[in-house]
């Protein structure tokens, strides 16, 4: 399949040093709010990239569940492929692509486990079936069939008719960024890119990157 004829001109917006926030968290919040207000599908979906102990990268989509000056929170199975990558190498990258806004945000930083209390609170807020699924699914391991998973759910339903405790291997991660890049598509591939790098004194250095 040849996709060379697919060509979109990006002309919805601009990003300049004059109007961008000096704080990347405020800039991210402003763009996330615009994505939320635009009713985009799954504006909080982000690609998470990790690197294994053998230096092999892998990516998958996860949902951003909380965002604050401390960082970006997502939830998953700590024994999954991403979980073992992060245990061996606690560096990760996030990527948001808001196609309707012609915007991309890249975020990089260190990842740590969220506190058990915070993971408990979020787990308790999930629907009953999702809580059972967290127990039933040994995420990323090979299974023989879908039926195996469904019968496991049935067993767990009998075991936990109401209260479903959080499995110790399921919870949140907090990514604390030291690098952000905001990308706004522009005409003729002359896109705007502003990179924010955390300095040793805690300030952010803002630099324009060539598109």
Ligand X SMILES: Cc1cc2nc3c(=O)[nH]c(=O)nc-3n(C[C@H](O)[C@H](O)[C@H](O)COP(=O)(O)O)c2cc1C
Which residues have a catalytic role annotated? 189
Nearer to ligand X, 82 or 106 (CB): 82
CB-side exposure of 54: number of CA atoms within 13 Å? 3
| Segment contacting ligand X by CB under 6 A, of 59-67, 126-134, 174-182, 193-201 | 59-67
> Measuring CA to CA, which residue among 164, 180, 188 is closest to residue 72?
180
For the chain, how many residues are written?
A: 211
What is the nearest approach in angstroms of ligand X to the Cβ of residue 74?
Answer: 5
Q: Does 51 bind ligand X (CB under 6 A)?
A: no
Q: Does 47 bind ligand X (CB under 6 A)?
A: no
What is the nearest approach in angstroms of ligand X to the Cβ of residue 36?
Answer: 16
Site for ligand X in 63-82 (CB under 6 A): 63, 74-76, 80-82
Site for ligand X in 148-177 (CB under 6 A): none
The answer to whether residues 96 and 181 touch, using CB atoms and an 8 Å cutoff, is no
Residues that bind ligand X (CB under 6 A): 42, 45, 58, 60-63, 74-76, 80-82, 139-140
């Amino acid at each position: 399949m040849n996709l060379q004829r697919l060509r979109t001109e990006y002309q919805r917006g601009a990003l300049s040093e004059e109007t961008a926030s000096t704080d990347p968290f405020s800039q991210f919040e402003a763009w996330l709010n615009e994505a939320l207000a635009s009713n985009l599908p799954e504006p909080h979906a982000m690609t998470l990239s990790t690197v294994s102990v053998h230096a092999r990268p892998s990516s998958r989509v996860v949902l951003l569940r909380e965002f604050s000056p401390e960082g970006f929170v997502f939830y998953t199975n700590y024994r999954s492929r991403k979980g073992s990558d992060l245990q061996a190498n606690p560096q990760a990258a996030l990527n948001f692509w808001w196609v309707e806004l012609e915007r991309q945000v890249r975020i990089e930083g260190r990842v740590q486990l969220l506190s058990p209390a915070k993971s408990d609170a979020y787990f308790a807020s999930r629907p009953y079936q999702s809580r059972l699924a967290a127990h039933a699914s040994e995420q990323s391991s090979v299974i023989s069939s879908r039926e195996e998973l469904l019968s496991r759910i049935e067993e767990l339903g009998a075991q936990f008719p109401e209260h479903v405790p959080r499995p110790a291997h399921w919870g949140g991660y907090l990514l604390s960024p030291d690098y952000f890049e905001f990308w706004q598509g522009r005409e003729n591939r002359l896109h705007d890119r502003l990179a924010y790098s955390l300095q040793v004194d805690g300030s952010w250095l803002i630099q324009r990157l060539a598109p």
